[in-house]
Structure 1
C-alpha cells in the first residue's frame, strides 16, 4: 500500500489510541453494574464482563454476539481496517466461538478526510473478515469529527464448551499467545510517524487457531488481552475464578522496540490508567516501573490469555489458591 500523505495521518485525528482510549476499567465497571445479564439462557455477558455475550438457542447451540470499534491506531487506512476487524473478531475466539457474519461500524469526519480513505478502512476490514470466513453484510455509519471503525460480529458456539472468565482454576498454568508492547509502539507511531511492520503483523493476526487449540485441550478459562492490558484482563479472570494469578515477569514475551518505547516516554494514558487500577490488587515484589507499565500496556488485537497450555504459546505464570492479593508479579 502507498503510505498516506502526512496531512492525512489518521492517528492525528484521534484523541487517543484505539484500545488505549477505552473508558477506564474501574469507571466502566461502576457505570454498567446492574445493567447487564438476565435470563437463564444467557450463558455469558453478565457481571464478570466476558469478551462476548453468549445465549443458548435451540438445537444444542449458542449464539455469540459482540461489538468493537475504536479510533485509528496506525496511519495506513487499510491496515487500520484490518487491525480493527481482527480485534473485533478476537472477542468471538476468546470465548471459544466461531464468527458467522459481521456488520461495519463507521464514524467518519466527512469534511476533513476523503471518502476514499473510509473505503480503504472498510476494505481492510473485509479482507481480514474474509480470512475468518465471516462475510460483512452492510452496517451503520455516522458523520463523526473523530474517525472510528469496527465490527458488530455474530457467531455460534457449543454451549457446553465455552472459554470463560470464571473458568480458570488454581493449579493451572497461564499461557499468552501474542507478545506485549503493542500500545507503547502505537504511541510512538502516533507521535513520530515511525512504522512498525512487526506490530501491524501481530495486530492483524487472527486468534482463531489459539481459540480452537484451547478448546481441543479442554481449556475452560480464557480471555483476550486488549485495552486493559495483560494485568487488567488477568485480574478480571482471576477475580471471577476465585484464584490468585502469579506472573513470572521474565517469561512474558515483548515485541522488539517495546522496552525502548517505554524508556523514551511513549506510554499511552490508557496504560497508566490500567496500572493504577490493578496496583491495589497486585503484589509486585521487586518489579521496576518500566516492567509494570509493559505488563499493564493497553493492547490492540492482542493474544489470548489461556488458563492451560497450548502449542506455541509461552507459559507466563500460574493460578494458585486465593491469597491476600489477586495478582502476584515476580
Structure 2
C-alpha cells in the first residue's frame, strides 16, 4: 500500500490477526456473565447524594440512567462504556465502528451523547503508534458527527489491541427507551440488517473487505433512536454481541413477555448467507445460540437460520418494540408463554 501524501510504500498490517476474537464477538459469553453478575444488582433503585438510579444492573439494559438533583422533569444522566478488539483491519474504520458502537448504548436508551473519553489498549512493542492514531482519529470523527465531545481518555500497554469509549449523555426521563417496558401486542422493528458477525469473521479469515458491512457498523443509531421516540416507543435495545436472539431474550425476560420472530421478515446484509454457508461462524455466535436455545421454541427453523439469528453483531441496529418508519417489522411481543422466544 502506498501513502497518497508521501508516496512511501507502507506494509499492510492486518489488525484482526492480533486479536483472539473480533468486535463484540469477543465479549464474555452471556451465560457466564449472568453467573458473574448474580447477586451484584442492587435490590431496587438506589438513591444518594448523587441522585436516583433509574436503570441499573438488574435488567441488563444498555446503559445506566441516573436522576440528578433538579426536580422530576430535569434531564437524566445516561452513562456507558464499550470497547473491543479489532473487527476490521483498517485502523480508521475500526475507530469509527468502535465509537458508533459505544454511542449506540446512549441512543438505545433514548438519550443524546454529550461527552466521551477514549479507552485504548495497545501492544506498543508490536504495533506502530501511527496505527493507534488512526484508530483514535476514526473515533473522533464519528463522535464529532454525533455532536459528542471527546475529552481525553485512558491508555494501557496491552498484548492485544482494544479500543472503545466511555460515553455520558442525557435523556428526558419521560421518554426513555428501556428493555423492561415491552408489553403484549407491541410489534418488533429492527433498524439495521443482520450478518455483521459472519461477514467480519470472513474478513478476519480471508482479508476480503465488505464495504456495506463497514458502513453499516460505522453508522450512528441516532436517527433510529429519534424515530423510535417520535413514534411513541418506550422499549428498545441495541443488537450487538449477544445477537438478535440474545438481546431479544433479555428484553423479553425484563418485560415479562414472550417474543415471536418471523425469520422471513428479518433483513440480512448481502453476502451474509454465503459467509454462513462457508462456515464463517464465530464461537461467540455458537455460544449465543447455546444460551438461548433452552428458552426458545424453534419449530422447523433450520440450524443455519438459528445461527444467523444468534449471530454476534458489532454496532448493530436498534431492536424497538414499536413501529419505526423505514424499519422492517420482524415479529411481536405476546403474553408470556412456556418459552421466552418463539421463532416461527
Distance 2:76 2:34 in 1: 26
CA contact (8 A) 1:65 1:152 kept: yes
CA drift of 1:135 comes to 1.1
Name the larger-Rg structure. 2
CA contact (8 A) 1:243 1:320 kept: yes
Aligned to 2:145: 131
Q: Is structure 2 residue 280 aligned with structure 1 residue 266?
A: yes
Distance 2:140 2:103 in 1: 12
CA contact (8 A) 2:257 2:335 kept: yes
Q: Is structure 2 residue 29 aligned with structure 1 residue 24?
A: yes
Aligned pairs for 1:284-303 (under 5 A) are 284-303=298-317
CA drift of 1:2 comes to 6.7
1:40-61: CA deviation from partner (whole Å, max 9, x where unpaired): 4101122111100000012312
Distance 1:319 1:44 in 2: 22
Distance 1:162 1:272 in 2: 32
1:176-214: CA deviation from partner (whole Å, max 9, x where unpaired): 000000000000000000000000010001000111111
Aligned pairs for 1:188-199 (under 5 A) are 188-199=202-213
CA contact (8 A) 1:219 1:308 kept: yes
Aligned to 2:162: 148
Aligned pairs for 1:98-247 (under 5 A) are 98-247=112-261
- Describe the SS at the equivalent of 2:174: coil
Distance 1:265 1:276 in 2: 17
**Number of aligned positions between the proteins:** 330
CA contact (8 A) 1:185 1:199 kept: yes
CA contact (8 A) 2:248 2:259 kept: yes
Change (3 A) 1:269 1:5: farther
Aligned to 2:46: 39
CA contact (8 A) 1:33 1:47 kept: no
CA contact (8 A) 1:34 1:47 kept: no
CA contact (8 A) 1:89 1:153 kept: yes
* TM-score, scaled relative to structure 1: 0.98
Aligned to 1:48: 59
CA drift of 1:114 comes to 0.3
Aligned pairs for 1:57-72 (under 5 A) are 57-59=68-70, 60-72=74-86
CA contact (8 A) 2:2 2:10 kept: no
CA contact (8 A) 1:71 1:147 kept: yes
* TM-score, scaled relative to structure 2: 0.94
Uncovered stretches (5+) of structure 2, i.e. residues with no partner:
4-8
Aligned to 2:89: 75
Uncovered stretches (5+) of structure 1, i.e. residues with no partner:
none
CA drift of 1:6 comes to 6.5
1:245-301: CA deviation from partner (whole Å, max 9, x where unpaired): 000110000000000111100001100000000000000011011100000000000
Distance 1:301 1:266 in 2: 19
Structure 1 residue ranges, 4+ long, deviating more than 6 angstroms after superposition? 1-6
Distance 1:246 1:129 in 2: 35
- Describe the SS at the equivalent of 2:199: helix
